[in-house]
Amino acid sequence: MSTSNRRLRAAVVFLCFSAFGAQFSHAASSKNPATWWPDPSSGLMWAGESSKNVMTWSEANDYCTSLHLGGDSGWRLPTLDEMKTISDYRRDSEHYYLEWKGGISAFSAWTSTLSGDQKAWLVRTGKVIEIPSFERFLVNGPDINHVVGKRSLHWAGALCTRPMEADLLQIAKDAQVNNPVPDISTLQAYVPLNKARLAYRAGQFQESITQSKSAIMLKPDLASAYWGAGISHGMLGQWDLAITNLEAALKLDKTYADAKDALKWAKTGQKAAKNGKSPKAQSPQWN
């Protein structure tokens, strides 16, 4: 290939990258996370998802410092060590995978940790890598995500974190929530709901009902609280109340798989009870 052709091809690829980056950033730059996850083990709270727009390292820093989420400012990029505490790497025979703790949704995210020579550490699917801090894309990565011509692109975004105040940290410890929440009232409702879970696992089903109802009082639209009350009523053979609560859970969240399964279990139990038989289906687990 002649020098002029190589230069022309490089220019075309660069323009494709630039156009893709501008389009993607413009389309999603106005969307900020709506949820956050508190991690009592580290004392940090995390945005429920990473930014949707591609960013340089400097832009990612600015994004986090300007973020207001959960009624709080003071967000920042995490260090590499902090990022590692919420990422769980695994692999099968062919691929790496990265799972984020707490139900966080993220793909490639900058850390605040620099690696020298104008580079910073980035955490992405199955790898911790360093790329130039002025780049928005990792080009020719091991997994194809977006393709321009024959070249793959992996964009870099921001997953923000901040320390929790002492009172919020205590609530998070009591709640033991394993998914992002939209507000503090939801987190507070998980405190009695966690007590309900422990009571259910100990076979104290009436106490589980009481604590689940306390969660409902704090957060009337918390589907998992109705699910907890429903399966606890079912364990006491109170099938009508079980079905009522489980249907309420599904009314709030039509995609709630555990509630769908539990409702089938409750209706089977109700039918067996009417026929003077014991239900054969396995009772729901509350992990």
pLDDT digits (tens, 9 = 90+) for 227-253: 999 999 999 999 999 999 999 999 999
Are 156 and 190 members of one domain?
no
Q: Would you state the structure tokens that stand for residue 257, as one six-digit string?
A: 């798989």
Pick the range with the lowest mean pLDDT from 45-59, 65-79, 97-111, 181-195: 97-111
Pick the range with the lowest mean pLDDT from 6-15, 52-61, 116-125, 274-283: 6-15
Are 199 and 105 members of one domain?
no
273 contact partners, CB below 8 Å, separation of at least 6: 237, 239, 279
Are 159 and 241 members of one domain?
no
With pLDDT > 90 as the criterion, what percentage of the chain qualifies? 55
In eight-state DSSP terms, residue 147 is E
Pick the range with the lowest mean pLDDT from 13-27, 106-120, 233-247, 264-278: 13-27
Are 237 and 97 members of one domain?
no
Q: What's the pLDDT at 94?
A: 57
Q: Would you state the structure tokens that stand for residue 121, as one six-digit string?
A: 């550490």
Confidence class of residue 141 from pLDDT cuts 50, 70 and 90?
A: very low
Instruction: Using alpha carbons, select from 75, 42, 69 the residue that is nearest to residue 173.
Output: 42
Are 105 and 227 members of one domain?
no
Confidence class of residue 89 from pLDDT cuts 50, 70 and 90?
A: low
Are 38 and 156 members of one domain?
yes
How large is the average pLDDT for residues 266-285?
88
What total number of domains does the chain contain? 2
Q: Provide the domain limits for residue 114.
A: 3-163
Q: Would you state the structure tokens that stand for residue 103, as one six-digit string?
A: 């139900």
| Spatial distance between the Cα atoms of 233 and 249, rounded to a whole number of angstroms | 14
User: What mean pLDDT value characterizes the chain?
Assistant: 81
How large is the average pLDDT for residues 96-103?
77
Q: Residue 241: exposed, middle, or buried by beta-carbon count in 10 A (0-12, 13-18, 19+)? A: middle
Are 26 and 152 members of one domain?
yes
Please indicate, yes or no, if residue 284 is contained in any of the structural domains: no
Instruction: Using alpha carbons, select from 244, 229, 234, 245 the residue that is nearest to residue 270.
Output: 234
Q: Would you state the structure tokens that stand for residue 219, as one six-digit string?
A: 């957060």
Please indicate, yes or no, if residue 246 is contained in any of the structural domains: yes
Confidence class of residue 148 from pLDDT cuts 50, 70 and 90?
A: very low
Q: What's the pLDDT at 88?
A: 76
CA dihedral sign of residues 28, 34, 37, 43: positive
Q: What's the pLDDT at 139?
A: 41
Are 123 and 18 members of one domain?
yes
Q: Which residue has the higher pLDDT, 171 or 281?
A: 171
Q: Would you state the structure tokens that stand for residue 162, as one six-digit string?
A: 């901040």
Please indicate, yes or no, if residue 287 is contained in any of the structural domains: no
Q: What's the pLDDT at 12?
A: 35
| Spatial distance between the Cα atoms of 253 and 100, rounded to a whole number of angstroms | 23
Asked if pLDDT for residue 96 goes beyond 90, the answer is no
Q: Domain ends where: 163, 192, 222? A: 163
What CATH number is attached to the domain comprising 251? 1.25.40.10
Pick the range with the lowest mean pLDDT from 101-105, 167-171, 191-195, 238-242: 101-105
